[in-house]
Structure 1
Amino acid sequence: MNPWLEAFGWLGSILVVWSLTQARVLRFRWLNFVGAVLATAYNAIVGIWPFFAMNLAIALIDAYWLWRLHRTRHDDATYQVVEVEPDDAYLLHVLRTYADDIAGFSPGFAAVPAAGERRAAFLVQKGDETVGVVEIADEGGGTGVVLLDWVSRRFRDFTPGEFVYRESGIVAGKGFTRLVVPPTSRTDARYLTRVGFHLEDGVWSRATPALAS
């Protein structure tokens, strides 16, 4: 057999297996799709029709889910924002469960607010699954500090935090006219840009439109 053709077949198999190790749903689908397409082509060339049919079916299923994931990634009907109290039992459970992962986003973040600290807390839900948490501290004068903007590993290729920032009146309704991200945050700059933050004098900030009267 042609060694290049054999390498082509092995590459498809490796990508399919590698995809199964991915926690991120979008990355899993893309790797699985590419691997299945390569395996489909390889099996068609060498005439292994049962595996051709199987991999073709996998590629078509992946293509459908990729289309659906991309179509709904900015859809208000797919993701919902639920405001909760900063000491809500379920919120604290989520923060404790993912404490190590959260520390990678916001070093020094404390799940329990300090005495006298005022916070707004929001869960981002996809159905009954919590895919993100946003917590904003009230610094007074209309300024809110984004203490946490965390996304679960499965949805890290998406931007569910955007629904908190763009939700009609949800941030302005808490009295915030400006949001800032503390310098200790490790939130990706590309994500901050996508959700409307701008870098000014070394500080990421975002204006919040006033509520319509």
Structure 2
Amino acid sequence: MKNLLDWLADHWVDALGWGGSALLVYSLLQQRVLRFRTLNLVAGGVLIAFNAILGVWPMVALNAVTSAINLWFILRLRRQRHDAASFEVIEVGLDDQYLRHVLDTHAGDIQQHQPTFAGRALPGQEAFVIAKGDETVGVVVVERDGEVARVRLDYVTPKYRDFTPGEFVWRRSDLLRSRGYRQVVTSPEIVSPYYDRIGFRAEGRSFVLDLDQPEGVAAGS
């Protein structure tokens, strides 16, 4: 440990440069768009400091520009996280070929996050695709249990996993109320649930939303 500290004391500028470069490369491996931008921004800041110490001003300018671009995208993405205008909820039939394609394409990832999902939307269930422009970012499947919509699938593609696009199904309470639902209950098997941040209440390992609440679903933080 002492040798490492001595080396860092003598070569801290080199360590700064290598650390920034390593973080830059690591950021490029990220599938999540917001995480990629954030890590890339941090790496750019480190490399700005490194190149400024060495007086390599063209590289300082380059990293300053890329950092500004990353910051702009981060602010834009964070504004869109809970913006209903950025995402569209599309109801699809259970035998819809595109729904089947999405479920098949992401079958392995879906099983990791919601291992009890059957892999198909089954009779008695309803399916919704969440889209951003022409890109599918999530799928929600609910099953009718009287006036309760039981969540069987609430899946987000890896690129948008820092977002919660499923919330736009719950926020549009008219979408579910018009079908006779009065309550939404999530599956206790969903990995890393986000529902407590958008107006659901915890009941054991599940989360519950009453659709008759006058204010609807609150936007998360």
1:104 — aligned with what?
112
Say whether the 8 Å CA contact 2:121–2:127 is kept in structure 1. no
Deviations 1:26-78, CA, capped at 9 Å, x for gaps: 11001100001110111111111221121111111101101111111111111
Distance in 2 between the 1:111 and 1:60 partners?
A: 42
Deviations 1:99-138, CA, capped at 9 Å, x for gaps: 0101112213123344xx3111111101000000000001
Mapping of residues 103-182 of structure 1, within 5 Å: 103-114=111-122, 117-140=123-146, 142-182=147-187
Of 142, 162, 186, 2:190 maps to 186
Q: 1:23 to 1:201 in 2, by over 3 A?
A: closer
1:203 matched to 2:211: no
Q: 1:81 to 1:37 in 2, by over 3 A?
A: same
1:40 — aligned with what?
48
Say whether the 8 Å CA contact 2:24–2:44 is kept in structure 1. yes
Say whether the 8 Å CA contact 2:17–2:50 is kept in structure 1. yes
Say whether the 8 Å CA contact 2:37–2:70 is kept in structure 1. yes
Q: Provide structure 2 residue ranges, at least 5 long, that are not aligned to the other structure.
A: 1-8, 215-221
Distance in 2 between the 1:52 and 1:202 partners?
A: 50
Q: Specify the SS of the correspondent of 1:147.
A: strand
Q: How many residues align?
A: 206
Letter paired with 1:208: L
Distance in 2 between the 1:210 and 1:92 partners?
A: 34
Letter paired with 1:144: A
Q: Provide structure 1 residue ranges, at least 5 long, that are not aligned to the other structure.
A: none
1:195 to partner: Cα distance: 2.7
Q: Specify the SS of the correspondent of 2:178.
A: helix
Say whether the 8 Å CA contact 1:80–1:126 is kept in structure 2. yes
1:14 to partner: Cα distance: 1.0
Say whether the 8 Å CA contact 2:117–2:152 is kept in structure 1. yes
1:196 to partner: Cα distance: 2.3
Say whether the 8 Å CA contact 2:173–2:211 is kept in structure 1. no
Distance in 2 between the 1:143 and 1:197 partners?
A: 14
1:85 to partner: Cα distance: 1.1
1:31 — aligned with what?
39
Percent of residue pairs bearing the same amino acid type? 43
Q: Specify the SS of the correspondent of 1:86.
A: coil
Distance in 2 between the 1:136 and 1:30 partners?
A: 33
Letter paired with 1:67: L
Distance in 2 between the 1:132 and 1:35 partners?
A: 30
Say whether the 8 Å CA contact 2:114–2:153 is kept in structure 1. yes
Q: Specify the SS of the correspondent of 1:33.
A: helix
Distance in 2 between the 1:179 and 1:198 partners?
A: 11
